[in-house]
Chain A
Amino acid sequence: MARRDGWALWAGVAATLATLVVVFYYPVASVFAEAFSAEGRLSLAPVLSVLSDPFYVDLFAFTAYQALLSTVASVLIGLPGAYVLARFEFPGRRFLRSVTILPFVLPSILVAVGFLAMFGRTGLFNDVLGIVGLGPVNLTFTLEIVVLAHAFYNAPLVTRLVTAAWESVDADRVETARTLGASPLRAFRDVTLPQLLPALATAAVLTFVFTFMSFPIVLALGGLELATVEVWLYSQVQSLDLAEAATLGAIETALSLGLLYVYLRYEATRTGSSSGDRGLSRRPLVDGARSLLDPLRLAMLAYGAVVLVLFAGPLVSLIVESVTTPGGQFTLEYYAFLLARQASTAAGTVQPFPAVVNSLLFGAATLLVAIPMGIVVSVVATREGRGTRTAEVLLTAPLAVSGIVLGLGMLQTLVFGTTLFGRRLTVTGPVAIVAAHAVAAYPFVSRSVTPALRSVDDRLGEAARSLGADRTTVLTDVELPLVAPALVAGAAFAFAISVGEFDSTVLLAEGVDTATMPVALERYTDDRSIGPSLGPATAMGTVLLAVTTVSFVLIDRVGGMWE
């Protein structure tokens, strides 16, 4: 069996596990150890005391409630987008499809700035409402704006995962259903929908887990009144109450892992198989003037308007903020600041251009590590056998652990180092950063690839193996080309995670040499030489936006050539 699997696969599994142990399990375990000990002995007392505190019970309940609302909003806003992108042809479709990943890389401080500028009391949205005689609506510091901001981050996730699934729906089977007399709706319900559900459920579960662990958006747009578990965890870390932070983190992680396990079991039961070699054809979005009166297209037009307000609005507002003074006049001062920073030789200065280069290099290196890791995990996940689901949960666990817990663990283990044989070993610098990014990113590759891999017709692989191919050859020559759209989607995610990652990057890179775009941006948020202004940060944010847009379009195009 092992020989038939091919040595490359086993080497991949070993390398994946080794990386996970060093960069993930060991640091996280070092934090959680605190949650299960009292006075140096193994104990459930810390966990029980949190669970019996009414304040914490309320906190967990509220956190789950807002995560549920955020998930519903993300699915409602994201799903129609997948329908439009997968089923219609129009100019700019591929561009739009690429940039759906963009919100994922945006640092929360910028999203908050964009949201305030768009939906604030004196924001663009209220201005427009005022012109048509409506409003004003007061959204700031409410649960509503927090949910909207979570949808801004996660609806594109729904769109992206479901679009990839929709594009690999087998057209032959839909047509067979139709020729057998099924109505379009019936064919959708019986043939298409079952193939979309795993992707939709993946997106919903991920959204729930992410918004459950949300904290910067909550604090920046909603305030402490809307505190989540993660807000509390962060403040405990800040005040060095690490035992309580660890306990909250352990409970939070247990809930997320449980959810992930239930989901993975569900996903494994949905084994619709298709050869995926002929996708559904797309209809033109606009087909003559009369098509614009078609109710379906009218609905899509309305949807487009909503999307424009919710997604383009904050981004445009962000760019506008980068070229206007607090008084509202046009200025290029903030971009001049970036140029001056670039020329500066002062100690401790983070320069913009090296930050762009670092982000791109770390992103590319992350792809090299995360794609193989993700594929390995997907292959493990598609095997049948006892313990497969548990193994998959363990291999997907980074999704369920909050950035704060992981950051804290890395700090205490890798950054501070341990003494072995009289020498202090520390893991910092680019290698550590890339490893951390890859660990955060590979689950997105596997979450994207696993459902697609599972839907590949088993008979293709069996045929190849009967002709003498080993498991690795079947994977690279037969299966991966069939799931190329999902793999490209996963690669884009991996790149996005790397470009947007902040917490572990600042912890692992103390010097200015390894600063990435988000780190530079954060350093510019409180740069005293330009006053208390987010201007330089919005300018750097606009640069980040431009660089990442180009990157994602490239990934999609280059990846698309493989299809």
Chain B
Amino acid sequence: MQRRAFLSQAGLATAGLAATAGCLGDSSNSESGTVTVATYSSFTGEDTAGNWLKSAFEDEHSDATVEFRTPENGINRFVQRKSQGAPIDADLFVGLNTGELVRADEQLDEELFATVEDEVEGANVVDPSLSFDPEGRAIPYDTGFISLVYDENEVDAPGTFDALLEPAYEDALIVQNAQQSDPGRAFLLWTIKAKGPDGYLDYWQGLVDNGVQVLSDWQPAYQAYENEEAPMVVSYSTDQVYYHGEGVDMSRHQVGFLNDQGYANPEGMAQFADSDNPELAREFMSFVLTEEAQKEIAVRNVQFPAVEGVEPGGDFGEYAFRPPEAVTYSYDELVGKVDGWIEDWARQIASA
């Protein structure tokens, strides 16, 4: 199964390459100019996926330049710009997730992003279970799976959501604030998936009574975990990719799936409707979906590829774990609900 997917992908990548070569040969088709990519700051800089993409793309398109924008508040910046009538000043956003796209659509009357699915080469081989935009604007390029990371010297893998309520896991878990943290929101949505929209608040009350700690974001939460404030933290199933190595005690970096699941948090890219250079932006998106780029992004961004059949290889293959079952909420399931779910949850925790 995987092998067949890989072969079809390899064939497609070759076709893509040929198409690109054709473009290079025929200057009238070759897009030139600057493509401005808005993304999060850790996507850019030395040894990152962003910088690899920039160099590789510029090597293939001698007339093109890739520039990065890394606004502090991410996609919010562009939603606010659009609603205030300010210029967008970027062609492409890289690093969009389902909840953010829902929010952007709910906030704006006009379209922030253009529908590009049919015009981006390779978009059709993206793992369909990761595609989160029914309108074909956001194209996934990688995904993380939310899981627990635990210290096996202190606790056993809990295995189920219900187990987390047991005395054995008292004061044992650190999670992130779903109002402002990606993994925090994903974990909350996962609990809603498991316990239902009517049951998740009771479940969380149980977690609070059992001493769960809700910290602002992934960094402080993981830092507290490393300081042994608690033996479990919500993180990604790729945790060991960072930590393996000589002299590292992997017993402190065990990945635990609850209910044999992991919550998929696909990251997408989308072309701004106001882009000055939409053709080049779409060409960049196609490039991101090539097999070579998918492997590099996976390794450098420590996330799973979005294109089916791509295997990053090396240490990544060995230390990144896929959950037995991947769950996630689709765009349609989140529309009109996600903000309310989060608000109710936050009020419950804050009044606890």
* A residues at B contact (CB < 8 Å): 55, 58-59, 109, 112-113, 116-117, 120-123, 140-141, 216, 219-220, 223-225, 227, 231-232, 234-235, 237-241, 326-327, 329, 340-341, 344, 346-350, 411-412, 416-417, 424, 506-507, 510, 523, 525-529, 531-532, 534
- Report chain A residues within 8 Å CB of B45: 341, 344, 346-350, 523, 527, 529
Q: Which residue from B73, B208, B247, B351 sits with its C-beta under 8 Å from A58?
A: B351
Residue among B46, B243, B342 having the largest count of chain A Cβ atoms under 10 Å = B46
Q: Interface size on B (CB < 8 Å)?
A: 64
Given contacts A238-B179, A529-B47, 18 further A-B contacts (CB under 8 A): A55-B350, A59-B350, A112-B220, A117-B227, A224-B214, A225-B214, A237-B76, A239-B339, A327-B249, A344-B46, A346-B45, A347-B51, A347-B66, A348-B70, A416-B84, A424-B87, A527-B45, A528-B48
- Which B51-71 residues have a C-beta within 8 angstroms of A? 51, 54, 66-71
- Report chain A residues within 8 Å CB of B50: 347-348
A327 touches B247 (CB 8 A): yes
Measured between alpha carbons, how far is A88 from B227 in the docked complex, in Å?
40
Give min CB distance, A404 to chain B, whole Å: 11
B227 touches A224 (CB 8 A): no
Number of A-B contacts (CB under 8 A): 160
Measured between alpha carbons, how far is A477 from B222 in the docked complex, in Å?
56
Measured between alpha carbons, how far is A234 from B80 in the docked complex, in Å?
15
A141 touches B84 (CB 8 A): no
A-B contact pairs, 19 of them (CB 8 A): A109-B220, A112-B220, A120-B227, A120-B228, A123-B227, A224-B215, A344-B45, A348-B41, A348-B51, A349-B45, A506-B72, A510-B69, A510-B70, A526-B41, A526-B218, A528-B300, A528-B301, A532-B222, A534-B223
- Report chain A residues within 8 Å CB of B68: 347-348
A239 touches B179 (CB 8 A): yes
A232 touches B350 (CB 8 A): yes
Q: Which residue from B42, B66, B243, B248 sits with its C-beta under 8 Å from A528?
A: B42
A121 touches B220 (CB 8 A): no
B46 touches A416 (CB 8 A): no
Q: Which residue from B41, B54, B84, B242 sits with its C-beta under 8 Å from A412?
A: B84
Closest to A234 in B: B180
- Report chain A residues within 8 Å CB of B222: 532
- Report chain B residues within 8 Å CB of A534: 219, 223
Measured between alpha carbons, how far is A506 from B41 in the docked complex, in Å?
12
Measured between alpha carbons, how far is A432 from B261 in the docked complex, in Å?
49
Closest to A512 in B: B70
- Which B65-112 residues have a C-beta within 8 angstroms of A? 66-73, 76-77, 79-81, 84, 86-87, 103, 107
Give min CB distance, A120 to chain B, whole Å: 5
- Report chain B residues within 8 Å CB of A523: 41-42, 45
* B residues at A contact (CB < 8 Å): 41-48, 50-51, 54, 66-73, 76-77, 79-81, 84, 86-87, 103, 107, 177, 179-180, 208, 213-216, 218-220, 222-224, 226-229, 239, 242-243, 247-249, 300-302, 339, 342, 346-347, 349-352
- Report chain A residues within 8 Å CB of B76: 237-238, 240
Q: Which residue from A122, A225, A346, A349 sits with its C-beta under 8 Å from B227?
A: A122
Measured between alpha carbons, how far is A83 from B131 in the docked complex, in Å?
65
Residue among B177, B223, B227 having the largest count of chain A Cβ atoms under 10 Å = B223
B350 touches A347 (CB 8 A): no
Give min CB distance, B214 to chain A, whole Å: 4
- Report chain B residues within 8 Å CB of A227: 346, 349-350
- Report chain B residues within 8 Å CB of A239: 103, 179, 339, 342
Q: Which residue from A123, A238, A329, A532 sits with its C-beta under 8 Å from B180?
A: A238
- Report chain A residues within 8 Å CB of B223: 112-113, 116, 534
From known contacts A239-B103, A327-B247, A528-B42, infer whether A219 and B226 are also in contact, taking CB-CB under 8 Å: no
- Report chain B residues within 8 Å CB of A240: 76, 79-80, 103, 107
Measured between alpha carbons, how far is A417 from B86 in the docked complex, in Å?
7
Q: Which residue from B48, B67, B216 sits with its C-beta under 8 Å from A219?
A: B216
Q: Which residue from B46, B228, B243 sits with its C-beta under 8 Å from A121?
A: B228
- Report chain B residues within 8 Å CB of A347: 44-45, 50-51, 54, 66-68
User: Which 6 A-B pairs rank lowest in CB-CB distance, beginning with the nearest?
Assistant: A348-B44, A219-B216, A235-B179, A416-B86, A529-B47, A224-B214
B248 touches A327 (CB 8 A): yes
Residue among A340, A411, A424 having the largest count of chain B Cβ atoms under 10 Å = A411
- Report chain B residues within 8 Å CB of A225: 208, 213-214, 349-350, 352
Give min CB distance, B265 to chain A, whole Å: 16
- Report chain B residues within 8 Å CB of A532: 218-219, 222, 239, 242
- Report chain A residues within 8 Å CB of B77: 411
- Report chain B residues within 8 Å CB of A235: 177, 179-180, 346
- Report chain A residues within 8 Å CB of B86: 416-417, 424
- Report chain A residues within 8 Å CB of B72: 506-507
Give min CB distance, B82 to chain A, whole Å: 10
- Report chain B residues within 8 Å CB of A411: 73, 77, 80
B242 touches A346 (CB 8 A): no
- Report chain B residues within 8 Å CB of A224: 177, 214-215, 346, 349-350
B44 touches A346 (CB 8 A): yes
Give min CB distance, A57 to chain B, whole Å: 11
A416 touches B81 (CB 8 A): yes
Measured between alpha carbons, how far is A344 from B226 in the docked complex, in Å?
29
Closest to A120 in B: B227
Give min CB distance, B274 to chain A, whole Å: 14
Closest to B65 in A: A347
Measured between alpha carbons, how far is A141 from B214 in the docked complex, in Å?
9
B242 touches A531 (CB 8 A): yes
Measured between alpha carbons, how far is A419 from B218 in the docked complex, in Å?
39
Measured between alpha carbons, how far is A120 from B215 in the docked complex, in Å?
15
Give min CB distance, B288 to chain A, whole Å: 16
- Report chain B residues within 8 Å CB of A232: 350
Measured between alpha carbons, how far is A348 from B55 in the docked complex, in Å?
13
- Report chain B residues within 8 Å CB of A237: 76
Give min CB distance, A514 to chain B, whole Å: 13
Give min CB distance, A149 to chain B, whole Å: 13
A140 touches B224 (CB 8 A): yes
Measured between alpha carbons, how far is A308 from B350 in the docked complex, in Å?
33
- Report chain B residues within 8 Å CB of A216: 216
Give min CB distance, A432 to chain B, whole Å: 15
B229 touches A141 (CB 8 A): yes
From known contacts A326-B226, A348-B45, A507-B72, infer whether A223 and B214 are also in contact, taking CB-CB under 8 Å: yes
B42 touches A526 (CB 8 A): yes
Measured between alpha carbons, how far is A249 from B67 in the docked complex, in Å?
36
Give min CB distance, A344 to chain B, whole Å: 5
- Report chain A residues within 8 Å CB of B226: 326
Give min CB distance, A465 to chain B, whole Å: 51
Measured between alpha carbons, how far is A288 from B171 in the docked complex, in Å?
52
Closest to B217 in A: A219
Measured between alpha carbons, how far is A225 from B301 in the docked complex, in Å?
32
Measured between alpha carbons, how far is A188 from B188 in the docked complex, in Å?
59
Q: Which residue from A122, A223, A528 sits with its C-beta under 8 Å from B215?
A: A223
A219 touches B215 (CB 8 A): yes
From known contacts A341-B46, A526-B42, infer whether A223 and B228 are also in contact, taking CB-CB under 8 Å: no
From known contacts A239-B339, A326-B226, A528-B301, infer whether A220 and B216 are also in contact, taking CB-CB under 8 Å: yes
- Report chain A residues within 8 Å CB of B43: 348
Give min CB distance, A139 to chain B, whole Å: 10
- Report chain A residues within 8 Å CB of B352: 225
Measured between alpha carbons, how far is A528 from B144 in the docked complex, in Å?
14
- Report chain B residues within 8 Å CB of A348: 41, 43-45, 48, 50-51, 68, 70
Q: Which residue from B107, B242, B351 sits with its C-beta under 8 Å from A55?
A: B351
- Report chain A residues within 8 Å CB of B347: 55
Measured between alpha carbons, how far is A529 from B48 in the docked complex, in Å?
6
B228 touches A122 (CB 8 A): yes
Measured between alpha carbons, how far is A534 from B42 in the docked complex, in Å?
13
- Report chain B residues within 8 Å CB of A141: 213, 229
